Amino acid sequence: MKNKFKELEKRLIKFSSIAVAFSGGVDSSFLLAVAKKVNPQKLLAITVSSQFVPKREIESAKRMARSIGVEHICLDVDILENKDVARNTMERCYYCKKQVFSLIRQTADSLGVNSLLHGVNLDDLKDFRPGLNASKELGVLSPLVDAKFTKSDIRRFSRQLELETWDKPSQSCLATRIPYNEMIRSETLVMVDKAEAFLQNLGFAQVRVRCHGKTARVEIEPDLVNTILKKNIRQMISTAFAKIGFDHTSIDIDGYKTGKMNHGISDEKPQP
């Protein structure tokens, strides 16, 4: 494990200036903290705010960048103006990342920062992530993959570095709540965001509200499925979700598992 950390530092110390595509989550916070440790001449954290990112996550990213002590830039983009993204085909992530990383790249270049990094890890490579193709095309580097870091490695080292994100639940963009080939609309994303915030306020940290038309399918940590099925909690959720705009609410009894919307995709994954 120590060798992994030394390998990561060895890779990062080669860069005189670094920009980290920063979400404020477990991976990018760890990468930013280690980049800060090797002390490059210039270090930036760049966050892109869009309809796909809950506002609370943007605020969390700002707070985390301040905590690490790194200059933070937040860029706004109307991602749904991109029709290739809004159409929500299986290549949506590619088109989204292409636009987002292009914007980050332009900003970094304008500030004289030529090394752009993101926090993808080995576990991310197991899922269907066409956005990784966009990052490669734009020359975005993935030092956590190169140094063989898994998610559990990152959490372990984050705890040692006393990063508050070490046990933060995994996050993903709100677009992953919408089934492929169903047009993504801003109002639908707002409904999903409100529903997930309600569940988090009830104490369910790891949540996904998958949106199937006007039906919400709730995923939480498997160990808490029995808790959410209690009558009083079900009724609270049903009432709240109805006010948000859902006609029906269902609970996924298998619980949350990353990449559920990608289940059933064949190994012959389409490329843009």
- In which band, very low, low, confident or very high, does the pLDDT at 270 lie, cut at 50, 70 and 90? very low
Q: How many CB atoms lie within 10 A of CB 213?
A: 11
Helix (H, G, I), strand (E, B) or coil at 18: strand
| Same domain for 11 and 79 | yes
User: What's the CA gap between 11 and 9, in Å, rounded?
Assistant: 5
Please report whether residue 270 resides in a domain. Answer: no
User: What's the CA gap between 211 and 255, in Å, rounded?
Assistant: 15
pLDDT at 272: 38
| Same domain for 153 and 20 | yes
Boundary-marking domain end, from 167, 187, 210: 167
| Same domain for 161 and 52 | yes
Closest to 84 measured CA to CA, from 100, 70, 73: 100
The whole-number average pLDDT for the span 204-219 is 96
Closest to 185 measured CA to CA, from 51, 75, 17: 51
User: What's the CA gap between 199 and 54, in Å, rounded?
Assistant: 14
pTM for the predicted model, two decimal places: 0.92
Range of the domain at 160: 2-167
Q: What is the CATH number of the domain that holds 70?
A: 3.40.50.620
Tokens of 45: 């954290």
* Residue the block writes with tokens 């919307």: 261
Stated length of the chain: 272
pLDDT in tens, 55-104: 999 999 999 999 999 999 999 999 999 999 999 999 999 999 999 999 99
Mean pLDDT, the chain, rounded, equals 94
Tokens of 241: 């979700």
| Same domain for 150 and 25 | yes
